[in-house]
Structure 1
Amino acid sequence: MSNSAKTGKSTQVSTSTKPKPAPDSSAEAAPVAALQTNVAQAGGDGPRPVIAGPIMRKKELIDTVVERSGIKKKDAKPVIDALLGVLGEALADHRELNLLPFGKFKVINEKDLSNGKMLRVKIRQLQPTDNNGLNDAGSAKL
């Protein structure tokens, strides 16, 4: 008698060369839909993901300020350059900025990089109101 008896189970190896179906966009959209559902269920109290808008460069900022204020571009450009310089220096010195309606800025931490610094800044903006967040005395509410 031999010990090599078959058990009756056979294994089949698939030799078909069917191409695998391409992943459809619904499979990729499922995690996004789940994320949106989870955010909606979490309520409005916690942080929520945002979709970043286009980057505003200095040229666009100057053009927008000129359009809104009605002053000439040659007059607005040096003022905006000076303002951006002052804001950059204040953040580099870890100063807290309270500039309504722009918001309240606080440097949380910094990291030295090979080409500069990376600052993590916490920004708090108030909901827009008719009086832009100013009370009767003219001081800001935060």
Structure 2
Amino acid sequence: MTRTSTKTSKTTRSTATRSTAAKTTRKPAAKSTLPKTRKSSAAATPAADAPEAVVVQESVPVSDLGELKKVELIEMIVERTGVKKRDAKPTIEAALQILGEALAEGRELNLQPLGKIRVNRMKKLSSARVMTCKVRQTIKEETTEPEPLAEAAE
């Protein structure tokens, strides 16, 4: 058993990963009246027929950056796009409102490169709605362009 511990700013959580191999039970062979012969080497290794055990480990990223708030998101978008803040803010707020409504309806979102978001569970409280969502992001492998074979002459 492998134990990993993940520490966040508020809680400590430990997850256990267990490697399990398929267990096989062999029944004793019925006694035969045939003369005994040598067993082949393939028959002498019964473990070769058993499937290999696969170990899966869960990794939880830990960030010291804290949560991303709407004000910081708007500033980052304004910086990256060069659009004026007074033009970007209403657009971003409208997009966030639409996304929140879609999640509240239980709709699945497919917004690449953010990922595919699916609501697994939803619980309505008196003053809030608690949703457990699954986010699946595709991992983009960085492609490097090959270096030119010759330098350009100037």
TM range (shorter): 0.5 to 0.7
TM-score, normalised by the number of residues in structure 1:
0.59
2:4 to 35, 43, 47: 35
User: Residue by residue, what CA displacement relative to the aligned partner does 1:17-72 show, whole Å, maximum 9, x if unpaired?
Assistant: xxxxxxxxxxxxxxxxx626x88997984422332441110000000000111110
Matched, 1:90 2:109: no
Q: 2:135 — aligned with what? A: 123
Q: Identity over the aligned pairs, expressed in percent?
A: 39
Task: Give me the whole-angstrom Cα distance separating, in 1, the residues matched to 2:69 and 2:55.
Answer: 31
Mapped contact 2:120–2:133 kept (Cα < 8 A): yes
Local SS of the residue matching 1:94: coil
CA distance in 2: counterparts of 1:107 and 1:65, whole angstroms: 26
Greater helix proportion: 1
Moved more, 110-119 or 89-98: 110-119
More strand by share: 2
TM-score by length of 2: 0.55
- How far off its partner does 1:89 sit? 0.4
Q: 1:105 to 1:44 in 2, by over 3 A?
A: farther
Query: Highest relative contact order (Cα 8 Å, sep 6+), 1 or 2?
Result: 2
Q: CA deviation at 1:116?
A: 1.5
- State the AA in 1 paired with 2:117: F
Check 1:50–1:130 CA distance in 2 against 1; reply closer, same or farther (3 A cut): closer
Counterpart amino acid of 2:108? Answer: E
- Could you say what the CA RMSD is over the residues aligned between the two structures, in angstroms? 2.7
Match of 1:114 in 2: 126
Structure 2 spans left out of the alignment, 5+ residues:
6-14, 20-53, 144-154
37, 51, 60: which is aligned to 2:62?
A: 51
Matched pairs, number: 97
CA contact (8 A) 2:17 2:57 kept: no
Matches within 5 A, 1:6-85: 35=4, 45-52=56-63, 53-85=65-97
